Amino acid sequence: MVSGGCVGAEGEVDPEAVAPAAATEEAVVPVQAPAREVVVGYALTTKKAKSFLQPKLRGLARKKGILFVAIDQKRPLSDQGPFDIVLHKLTGKGWQQLLEEYREAHPEVTVLDPPGAIANLLDRQSMLQEVSELDLTDCHGKVRVPKQLFVNTDPSSIPAAVRRAGLSLPLVAKPLVAKSHELSLAYDPTSLTKLEPPLVLQEFVNHGGVMFKVYIVGDAIRVVRRFSLPNVDEGDLSNNAGVFRFPRVSCAAASADDADLDPGVAELPPRPLLEILARELRRRLGLRLFNIDMIRQHGTRDRFYVIDMNYFPGMQSDILEHAQSILRFGKANLCLNILDIIDRRISCLILFLL
């Protein structure tokens, strides 16, 4: 006996009886909803917007259903959008207050990142405090921060302050405000008096001239090698004097990933160590978009130092993936069918990044 239709006297299915059933089945076939667009409102400086929102990123975003919309800083945020995510890198108390008020009024919108949390990485006097408080001495390696000293006094008193703090030359001098990337290397006490406070003095640790930039975007981690300052030996200390300035120690053009390096210098930090470090810093800092500058002490394999941290790294594709993952995992109030659509669109992007 055939199911799904009426049976005639000869045991055959009546075509006229089947047709309405088929038509009924066709009528109830669900129509797939169009993919929902993810709207990312951005508030960036002109320079940052130009470097971040490049044509390649915009094209990739369109393919993944992500729309970037500029935020008008002269208008109330609540009058704009609606946004799924607000991405920003602006400073100033006025902007911070506007953003905090918007977060309270629109808890359904993810703000990357909270202004108060970002402030922790804008001051070099305190940015490494969370790292120094971590106990990672038995986690596939040791992670520390170099000895450092905050200086905000007359330059002539810096040598005495350095002696009292027990710091050893050479010292890296960094502007107090992390927005500036200019660094100086002071070899002798006299050169310390030529520095311009306020600044942070950090002991220089020999690291084979290679730095590891660890980009943290949500749960994702990416590590790249960059050329850095070369090792300094006793001969350098005795033969060099003065302050050597470096506009930017590490930049995209100084990639060391393809260079022929000593394996002991080029070996990346252990992945488990980076995962633990990233997880703890995400939790302590309350941030999801930042990077860590790490070095390995020369002549060791498992002794690392975090020497700097920055908010909003330049890994555009990783940020794009994180924008999707926020909606994929972090928005319980979104409809399930929207989450399913976003889940399908994210898969090829993950493969592209990995």
Position 4 scores a pLDDT of: 43
pLDDT mean over 275-291: 92
pLDDT mean over 295-308: 94
pTM: 0.75
* Domain span holding position 142: 122-311
Position 306 scores a pLDDT of: 96
* Tens-place pLDDT, residues 224-245: 898 888 888 876 666 666 787 8
Instruction: Look up the CATH number of the domain holding residue 47.
Output: 3.40.50.11370
Instruction: Look up the CATH number of the domain holding residue 307.
Output: 3.30.470.20
SS (H, E, C) the chain: CCCCCCECCCCCECHHHHHHHHHHHHHCCCCCCCCCCEEEEEECCHHHHHHHCCHHHHHHHHHCCEEEEECCCCCCHHHCCCCCEEEECCCCHHHHHHHHHHHHHCCCCEEECCHHHHHHHCECCCCCHHHHCCCCCCCCCEEECCCEEEECCCHHHHHHHHHHHCCCCCEEEEECECCCCCEEEECCHHHHCCCCCCEEEEECCCCCCEEEEEEEECCEEEEEEEECCCCCCHHHHHHCCCEEEECCCCCHHHECCCCCCCHHHHCCCCHHHHHHHHHHHHHHHCCCEEEEEEEECCCCCCEEEEEEEEECCCCHHHHHHHHHHHHHHCCCCCCHHHHHHHHHHHHHHHHHHC
Q: Are residues 265 and 176 in the same domain?
A: yes
Q: Pick the residue with more confidence: 246 or 252?
A: 246
**pLDDT category, 90, cuts 50, 70, 90?**
confident
Q: Are residues 201 and 78 in the same domain?
A: no
Poorest-pLDDT segment among 159-163, 260-264, 308-312, 313-317: 313-317
Position 14 scores a pLDDT of: 46
Q: Are residues 276 and 224 in the same domain?
A: yes
Q: Are residues 183 and 253 in the same domain?
A: yes
Q: Are residues 202 and 293 in the same domain?
A: yes
Position 253 scores a pLDDT of: 44
